[in-house]
Amino acid sequence: MSGKSCSTREFAKDDSRETLLSGQSSISRNRSVKDIPKGFVAVYVGQNMRRFVIPASYLSLPDFRVLMEKAAEEFGFEQEGGLRLPCEEDDFEEILVRCFGQQRMRKANSGRR
Q: Are 76 and 52 in contact (CB under 8 A)?
A: no
Q: State how far the Cα of 33 lies from the Cα of 61, in Å rounded to an integer.
A: 23
pLDDT tens series, the chain, 113 aa? 444 333 333 333 344 555 555 444 333 444 556 688 999 999 999 999 999 999 999 998 998 999 999 999 988 877 777 788 999 999 999 999 998 888 888 888 887 65
0.75 exceeded by pTM? no
To the nearest 10°, the Cα dihedral for 27, 82, 68, 19?
Answer: -50
Q: State how far the Cα of 81 lies from the Cα of 84, in Å rounded to an integer.
A: 9
Give the residue among 88, 86, 23 at the shortest CA–CA distance from 54: 23
